[in-house]
Amino acid sequence: MLIEWINDRYQWWWPYAGVAFLCSLLAGVIYFSWPSTPTFEHAEISSNTYGTMEELTQLSNFRSAYLKANGGEASIREILSIRNAGVMISKGKEMPFFSIKRQPDKSLTTFKMREYELTFGVNGPVVWQRVKKEGETPKYELKTGPEGQSLAQMGKFFDSTMSVLLLNQGKIEHLSPSQWQGTETLKVNFAPDEFNRQATSYFDIRTMHQLARIEQLPDGRIRKTLYNDYRDVAGMQEPFKVETYIDEVLQNQIIIEKCEANIGAILSLFDYPEQLADSTQEAEINVNYKLPQQTH
């Protein structure tokens, strides 16, 4: 659910941190012990169809089919929080990360670097950053302006498709029959978003899994995101492997290792620690270090 935001921030953040940031959203860096929905099960391809291609090109039918494939509208609305852990792979380097989100607009994401941990917190319009180095006092910073507005997208609980179909946020302009790498798919054209990105997605009509998303970025580049290894998380179908390309060049891979829903995230977890505001300062980060190689 953070994958789109992670991909958006990747190009901006690489010069800043010296690693491929935000290309994965979820490897066990931190775990909590709250009760949770059982982890996940591998999604199975159902022999039942969600409708004919002709039927699915009608928006109301596509909406019904997509929500049904993800557990049904009532079940989806009962998912109040989600926790993910995984690893991002880019240019031969790996970076573990951990993310926890709570409805409707709260998130906490930690990236494990070799020399420090970088955390972003989103609590509605309030966005903050924490840099934590071993043996040092954590450094906090509020994020405002265009950077803060962009980072605030991380707090969105659902991805673009679910936001349109469940929350009526955004717009689908056109649905049409298509194919993706030999699979019969429904082609979904989205209206440009608030960042003026035009997107087209391809959904397998047997499973309603999104197989690919093609976006034209404001600077003219084309971003292609491929989704694989779908698994059931509290009824929702989530991809556990994601690859992102810019102009057909592989940028990164996201491997999800653990995903749980309704884990009881307390509200204070997302608060900016105002009591530490006096120590807020720009973090000093070494951008030249090399991440250790990890095997899985």
Domain boundaries, the chain: 3-279
Predicted local distance difference test score (pLDDT) of residue 154:
85
At 126-150, the pLDDT tens digits run 999 999 998 999 999 999 998 888 8
Summarised one tens digit per residue, pLDDT across range 73-123 is 999 999 999 999 999 999 888 999 999 999 989 999 999 988 899 999 999
The pLDDT of residue 35 is above 80: no
If 0-12 CB within 10 Å is exposed, 13-18 middle and 19+ buried, where does residue 55 land?
middle
Torsion of CA 8, 10, 11, 12, to 10 degrees: 90
Q: Does pLDDT of 39 surpass 60?
A: no
- Give tens-digit pLDDT for 220-264: 999 999 999 999 999 999 999 999 999 999 999 999 999 998 877
Closest to 229 (Cα-Cα) out of 99, 44, 97, 79 = 44
Which of the pair, 44 or 240, is modelled with greater confidence? Answer: 240
* Domain 3-279, CATH class in plain words: mainly beta
Torsion, Cα 16 20 22 26, to 10 degrees, reads -140
pLDDT for 149? 84
Task: Indicate the pTM of the whole model.
Answer: 0.76
Q: What is the pLDDT of residue 48?
A: 53
Q: Tell me the average pLDDT of the chain.
A: 80
pLDDT at 176 over 50: yes
Question: How far is the C-alpha of 147 from the C-alpha of 128, rounded, in Å?
Answer: 11
Which residue type occupies 257? Answer: E
Give the residue with greater pLDDT, 70 vs 92: 70
pLDDT of residue 25: 31
